[in-house]
Chain A
Amino acid sequence: MATLKINDLHVQVEGKEILKGVSFSMSEGETVALLGPNGHGKSTLFNAIMGHPRYKITQGSIYLDDVDLTHMTTDQRARAGLFLGLQNPAEVPGVINSDFLRAAVNATSEERISTYKFYKLLDSATKELKMPFDLATRSLNEGFSGGEKKRNEILQLMLLNPKIAMLDEIDSGLDVDAIQTVADVINKLEGEGKGFLVISHYARLFDLIKPTRAIVMVNGKIVLDGDPSLIKRIDQTGYEFIKAELGINIEKEENKMNEVSIGSCAVRESIKK
């Protein structure tokens, strides 16, 4: 059973430290909910684990069992058994979805898959996801709706067979029926022994996939690691209790707007008059 171990991970994005010593571990067979206010490093953690070049690891380590992934390239991490379902998957014009999926399946499995076997796999996976087969033959994510993109992420997850999958807001953009479909797939894969680390802002997805654990990230650190009742508590009361009970001040998300916007200029002008 594979275990993902994150130890004292510090990560910078464009020179700014976002993760300030993240430590936790999880194994195959677990479904872990990753909670936390916006802008506190959840997506950064996923990107850093997957090896996005924009996210610089300055300290700490990432292990999958005894394999050190910390300095590996993204594709090596994928082949080691990690998967990241993206919040906003890129649209890649001209690259046919099925060509890409086939290349990816071949890259992550030991032997090359035959055309026949691949299309059988693709056909059954698209049916399970209630996804029109046509989507597999179009340009990768190009012109896909938000929901179609998310289903395409799950399709990749099903075909690539990773050990541990990170899903970043996989439920956003999905309607109620589609969330059910995606949750069914996650539950099935969890039953097969895969591990899931899941970010979502909605209790609905968690109700359906029943995490075995919940961890909470605040200010670039894991501040709570506990049982899934945390999900309900946060859904109902928010994150304020963390300050009261743990004495941790939740840093407000920085205002990313320019300090002087057209709006404020116009207001100032009118006041002068």
Chain B
Amino acid sequence: MADTTIDLGTTAAKHEEAGFLGFTRAQALAFGVLVAFVFISPFFLYPVFLMKILCFALFACAFNLLIGYVGLLSFGHAAFFGMGGYITAHTAKVWGLTPELAILAGGVVGSVLGLGIGWLAIRRSGIYFAMITLAMAQMVYFFCLQAPFTGGEDGIQQVPRGSLFGMVPLDRDFTLYWVVAFVFLAGFLLVHRVVHSPFGQVMKAVRENEPRATSLGYRTDDYKLMAFVLSAALSGVAGGTKALVFGIATLVDVNWTMSGEVVLMTLVGGLGTVFGPVVGAAVIVTMQNYLAEFGAWVTVIQGVIFVACVLAFRRGVVGEIGNLLKVKL
């Protein structure tokens, strides 16, 4: 046994990529900052605002898994996010599930929905892929508008936060915050794990050169579908968590504008970077919160930022910083 340990040690030393949880040194440092922020910020900032950021950050990370690492631009991710919200809200309110189970249910339904939509969409690529996901998501939207359990225009309101494992009541924002923080960090690390797994390696190969991946014997469609389902599941979890935080699930979260918003977050933060989606989500949510007094101008400002992003710094905030410091973030 001793021999193997030493062996592993030397191999690890040869690889610069090796490190804590598979992070590079710069990433480990950034992750440390992120965790510190997650733990310290609720003592200074409004917890509900922070929870909103964390929910969207997880959503953006899930979205980034698909566009950043498989190269698939989904324009229908609101379907998974919104449906996750409805399912969590319904199971928590009507079925009386505990919050962790309700969120889980949101994730499961998200993944099932992802399996269906993904199975159809991966047959096409590029703009056609985006269009199919958009069309399917619109169908989900109309389903949510009409289905009896969603409450139509009213949505599902007064969703109880319940008690974690039936024991810890989550009515206080400060208590709920830690649950949301846990969900976010777990989801973030899962995405990171997926990207740095044997599966993730094939996923990146598909992004880089699909015909070549095929010629190596990989059935590329299977990998795309798997990534799509994982992304949809995490989006469902993010939506479910958000529904619990605000105690409401509405059509806003399942509308196509939400699909656009997550694209914006990911782009602003940095496509295909580990931390970009988190930063992007924080920027956009903060803007929406603090610029709310300007009313409709928020959309205009968002549009300007989007244009500036595409024109001036295409790598996004984190991507540009990483490029400047010559590290992968």
Q: Do chains A and B interact in one complex?
A: no
